């Protein structure tokens, strides 16, 4: 029963990933949510079966968080500079 449920969840995630450009044409948050759901369907079962995988996953979050922080900071800086003519 667990394997059938797992493959059903993965199938739904795969369909959502392929359809996400069409489903969420105008909403970036929905696209990110679809990718997060698909990622969770892969990472959660793996980390339940092999808990030792959690430490590398947590370590990988550090550069991802730094990258997201830098992208947000740069996007805010770009918006503040619009209309002034200066770069």
pLDDT tens per residue across span 64-79? 999 989 988 888 876 6
CB 20 within 8 A of CB 41: no
If we measure between CA atoms, which residue out of 12, 9, 31 comes closest to residue 20? 31
- The pTM (predicted TM-score) of the whole model is 0.54
| Confidence at 63, pLDDT banded by 50, 70, 90 | very high
How far apart are the C-alpha atoms of 26 and 83, rounded to whole Å?
25
pLDDT for 39 beyond 90: no
The rounded mean pLDDT for the chain is 78
Angle between helices 2-23 and 28-49 (to 10 degrees): 160
Judged against a pLDDT cut of 50, whether residue 23 lies above it is answered with yes
User: Looking at residue 1, what is its pLDDT?
Assistant: 47
Q: Which of 87, 60, 59 is nearest to 74 (CA)?
A: 87
């Amino acid at each position: 029963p667990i394997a059938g449920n797992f493959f059903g969840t993965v199938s739904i995630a795969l369909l959502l990933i392929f359809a996400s450009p069409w489903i969420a044409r105008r909403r970036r948050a929905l696209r990110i949510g679809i990718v997060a759901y698909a990622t969770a369907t892969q990472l959660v079962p793996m980390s339940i079966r092999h808990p030792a995988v959690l430490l590398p996953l947590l370590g990988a979050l550090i550069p991802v968080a730094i990258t997201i922080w830098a992208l947000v900071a740069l996007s805010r800086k770009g918006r503040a500079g619009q209309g002034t003519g200066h770069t």
